[in-house]
Structure 1
Amino acid sequence: MNSSRSDTESESTSLSGSDTESVMLCDPNRLTLHIEAHPHESSAMWDIYQPIFNWIDPDAQLLRITERTHPVENAKGGMAGNASMHDSQRPEVPSIAVLAFLQEEGLFGCDRIQSAKQYFEKTPWKFHYSDKVSKSGINPYPYNSQDYYVTSTDLPLWAMRQVHQGKEHFRFVLFTSYESWEDMVDFYKLMSGASPDVLRSHFCLFTMHTNPHYDVQFALKRLPKDVKPKILDSSSLQFRVGDIGHLVPLFPNVCRPLSDTRWETTDHDGNRIVLETTGLVSQSAIASSSRLSQPLMGFYV
């Protein structure tokens, strides 16, 4: 058996051997996806997306859908706010994707996976593109490719994959511009409070939560130079942290309060990120944050 793995093959590896003794890994809501729906559409959107989470755990609370009560703001931090003429001509990929990795279960495993795949072939889903995992001409697994689907180009991509070893898992993927890769890796080390389980030239993976049945993962995937991420105004990732007072001065963009326990900032590409915390941010930390404009160079948690 060949002991070496290609970069793309490593992206499908289950990381059940990560440090389960960490207190952070026990928090099932350490990472959640938040979507703002148009008025009166939140219920229908929930009916479309929740079945995907039900494939692995019907009780998982990884998705929040709320009704938008304010206009979408176009102002963005990071690279998204300074797009050049050349940048505006590059094709776009929605910046957020959600993947469900499903196991084969005995003789009926393929039927289960086939049923999940067929779910994406029904209205209102639309095929977006396929990211082939196997570079060889022969694909030994019928679902060893990532076919991404969307209900709208302004909402996240969704996909399912077959996992052949280890536990099942949900994976939240953030597609990252080629130019900001190193800064984005450093920024999300801050957000996750940990070093990545996998770090390669175009792929970075964190285990955010683990239990006996499945893992919740967060990944960064570097886009080619000629493709840019499309920032999704209606969608954001929320990270739960203990106290962001010491983190705020290290953010590349301003951090503003949403409530007593939730704060919002943007990463280097301009993605909106929400932090949920039980701690309070000092006014001096907020002032320091507003003066910062430099990227997070060489910061490691």
Structure 2
Amino acid sequence: MEPQTGGGEEDDCVDSGAETGGSDYSHMSSTSSELSLEEAQDPFLVSIHIIADPGESQALQEAVDRVLAWVHPDLQLFRVSERRASRRRRRACKGARPALAVVLFLQEEFGDEQILHLHRTLQRPPWRHHHTERVAGRLRPYLPCSQDFFSLGPGTPLWAVRPVHYGREIVRFTVYCRHHSYADSLRLYGLILRRSPSQRKADFCVFPIFSSLDVDIQFSLKRLPCDQTPAPADSAVLEFRVRDIGELVPLLPNPCSPISEGRWQTEDLDGNKILLQRSPPCTAHPSTPTASAGR
């Protein structure tokens, strides 16, 4: 595992957790250093399971794979399956925002064209524009599209593309937390991931998941203002590989029950469903991302 170099730009403003693309892991705690080599090199430690309506899974899987290939063609971090019958969507509470987001940071040194091309891809079905954020504070030279968020439909994660000024390209999973549950959520996910954040602010933190010569995979938490509420993604589930489920279950804040051999389901403090998958004794990764992605 290559050591991290570089670091993200610091902001005076409170951002969405999607603006800072640097990757300085020089402050990793001893908890991370105690991970086994297998755990530290598992790019699939965190993944997302998307649940589609009948007949839609293939189109959504292909859409996700095409977008993720811009970072690396072998990053199979998303699995789309179908529910048995279409479900009636629950109306989100007023002022609520999706609790789960995926942000792709692409290299600026390759020019703006690749970012703009991916942005155009996210504007075509089955993708749909969700919202555009306004960033307070001092002005920074963002691309015109760099505050846009997209989704594959209600109940699925938000997606965004951002420039990274230096360092590797990044896939970042972000969970938005209620203001008062942020500290407990940080402890919960640190427990599941068995590591501490490499970057931490009062309202944002980043956990390092995996690093290669070409790509970093990160997991982050973003604390929402008091007047905002995260809406759990009812068509997406975070899945984590864990070494010892039996050791972990008694420490979780909510009930955890088996749903199949080696897989357990629980919820975090804000009602987001979590799948815990027991890691196999010896995990082989035939498609571990090590070579540069073709564009």
Matched, 1:15 2:19: no
- Residue 256 of structure 1 aligns with an amino acid whose one-letter code is S
Partner Cα distance (1:36, 1:274) in 2: 13
Q: CA deviation at 1:225?
A: 1.3
**8 Å contact from structure 2 (residues 13, 135) kept in 1:** no
**8 Å contact from structure 1 (residues 143, 162) kept in 2:** no
Partner Cα distance (2:261, 2:279) in 1: 8
Instruction: Give 2:252's aligned residue.
Output: 251
Q: CA deviation at 1:14?
A: 2.2
Larger Rg: 1
Partner Cα distance (2:195, 2:87) in 1: 32
Residue from 40, 45, 51 that aligns with 2:60: 45
Give the stretch that moved more between structures: 168-177 or 127-136: 127-136
* SS of alignment partner, residue 226 of structure 1: coil
Instruction: Give 1:194's aligned residue.
Output: 195
Q: CA deviation at 1:57?
A: 0.6
Matched, 1:27 2:42: yes
Residue from 102, 105, 112 that aligns with 2:114: 112
Q: CA deviation at 1:126?
A: 2.6
Q: CA deviation at 1:34?
A: 0.6
Q: Structure 2: which 5+ residue stretches go unaligned?
A: 1-8, 282-295
Cα gap change, 1:4 to 1:217, in 2 (>3 Å): closer
Partner Cα distance (1:263, 1:184) in 2: 19
Matched, 1:98 2:102: yes
Residue from 120, 123, 132 that aligns with 1:121: 123
Residue from 6, 17, 40 that aligns with 2:12: 6
Instruction: Give 2:239's aligned residue.
Output: 238
Query: What TM-score results when the alignment is normalised by the length of structure 1?
Result: 0.79
Q: List aligned pairs for 1:254-269, cutoff 5 A.
A: 254-269=255-270
Q: CA deviation at 1:31?
A: 0.6
Q: Number of aligned pairs?
A: 262
Deviations 1:229-259 (A, max 9, x none): 1111221111111112121111111111121
**8 Å contact from structure 2 (residues 25, 208) kept in 1:** no
**8 Å contact from structure 2 (residues 154, 235) kept in 1:** no
Partner Cα distance (2:23, 2:258) in 1: 34
Q: List aligned pairs for 1:1-301, cutoff 5 A.
A: 5-6=11-12, 8=14, 12-15=20-23, 17-18=25-26, 22=35, 23=37, 24-69=39-84, 90-106=94-110, 109-133=111-135, 135-136=137-138, 138-142=139-143, 145-278=146-279
> Aligned-residue CA RMSD in angstroms?
2.7
Q: CA deviation at 1:71?
A: 8.3
* SS of alignment partner, residue 27 of structure 1: coil
Cα gap change, 1:256 to 1:279, in 2 (>3 Å): farther
Query: What TM-score results when the alignment is normalised by the length of structure 2?
Result: 0.80
Q: Structure 1: which 5+ residue stretches go unaligned?
A: 75-87, 281-301
Partner Cα distance (1:231, 1:94) in 2: 6
Q: CA deviation at 1:191?
A: 1.2
Partner Cα distance (2:145, 2:60) in 1: 28
